[in-house]
Amino acid sequence: MTTGIERPSTDLLYSEQEEFLRETVRDVLNKACDWTSVLALTESESAIDRSLWRTLAAEVGGAALALPEDIGGAGASWRETAMVLEELGRSIAPVPYLGSSVIATVYAQEIGAGDLLASLAAGETIAAVAIPAGSPWFRPLPQVVTATGNTLTGTVSTVADAAAADTLLVPVGEDTYLVDPAAAGVRCTQVVSLDETRPLVDIEFSAAPAQRLEGTQSAGAATAAALRAGTALLASEQLGLAEHCLTSTVEYLGVRRQFGRALGSYQALKHRLADLWVQINQARAAARYAADCLAAGSDDLAVAAAVAHSWCSEVAVHAAEEYVQLHGGIGFTWEHPAHLYLKRAKSSTLMFGGPDIHRTHLAGLVHLPLPTLENI
């Protein structure tokens, strides 16, 4: 769309290997990530399930999928990573996969941090990039952290998946620093946020000891690449969430009866579910295309990521709202998982800038004029 260069058409279908991986991940999540355990974790001191993370990252190899084999990766691609995210979204799994295995991994690749990549691939380290969760990739970030020698000072707000991080990647200007979040001078404060299954933290550095990564590439370019990849792949997590909401609602309406009939037999409800099914299939196409563009290094990635985030965010929220409403009274209670899905869907919408900002950016990418009084 943007280059005019002909290239092979994208295969949006899932390969046999991807389906096998899906079954493996789903089996792990079915055994270790039921919604009651997710709810229990949100009421504990740490909302992250480290045991589940170790299984997914180290035993299944989910953290190494897109990394090359010579550093311990699986030599697959971001398409497989996207498929894992679909399953994590379907279970609203409380693991730092998006933050560590996508954003931090892409960042480390871009700057050429080989040792860290190997540790990430092995599932030995959870890393987080100190960037506010609501940052779009196409806008420069304010410089809120300053470096003096080997110490950092400043505060970064609302960093996703940093609560579980073993190491922080902190971009300062065009340099990158490694910081131990447990070191003196670093304070991580959990933010009261809508989605407790993906906690946000404010990170305060007060002359915190830091290690400057020597000889690495531009932190600015790495930040943009990491946020772009995160935006493209978040759509797959939103897709999985939406599919779960639709599937569970259809099952419920098939057995719940009123006035002697199954609720699912009412035409009005059938139409609502059919409309949602169409939207989810459109979301699947957008999410798969964005993942494929990331995997292939396509010039269309920026367009694909903006489309995927804009569309999948709204579809996920719509699906979660239908999940709540069509379950009637039980859907509004704490004893049903619908509220967890609605909170995840709503909070994911606000990540990386939100749909409206991405549509505005998309208009510029495809040379569409923004609405004015003259062209409305």
pLDDT at position 4: 46
Contact, 163 vs 210, CB < 8 A?
no
pLDDT at position 10: 77
pLDDT at position 58: 87
Catalogue all structural domains in the chain, each as residue range(s) with its CATH number: 16-126 (1.10.540.10), 145-217 (2.40.110.10), 220-366 (1.20.140.10)
Eight-class DSSP state of 139:
S
pLDDT at position 373: 59
Q: Evaluate the CA torsion angle 310, 312, 317, 318 in order and state its sign.
A: positive
What is the torsion angle, in degrees rounded to the nearest 10, for the CA atoms of residue 296, residue 299, residue 304 and residue 309? 90
- Could you tell me the pLDDT band of residue 375, with boundaries at 50, 70 and 90? low
Provide the CA 216 distance to its chain's centre, in angstroms: 26
Q: Which tens digit of pLDDT belongs to each residue from 47-78?
A: 899 999 999 998 999 998 999 999 989 999 99
User: What's the average model confidence in pLDDT over 219-229?
Assistant: 96
Q: Which tens digit of pLDDT belongs to each residue from 114-130?
A: 899 999 999 999 999 99
pLDDT at position 200: 95
Cα 232 from Cα 358, distance rounded (Å): 12
pLDDT at position 8: 57
- Could you tell me the pLDDT band of residue 369, with boundaries at 50, 70 and 90? confident
User: What's the average model confidence in pLDDT over 86-97?
Assistant: 97
Q: What is the mean pLDDT of the chain?
A: 93
Q: Which tens digit of pLDDT belongs to each residue from 169-222?
A: 999 999 999 999 999 999 999 999 899 999 999 999 999 999 999 877 899 999
Q: Which tens digit of pLDDT belongs to each residue from 233-277?
A: 999 999 999 999 999 999 999 999 989 999 999 999 999 999 999
* Segment (H or E) for 153: strand 151-160
pLDDT at position 216: 72
Cα 67 from Cα 101, distance rounded (Å): 10
Cα 47 from Cα 185, distance rounded (Å): 24
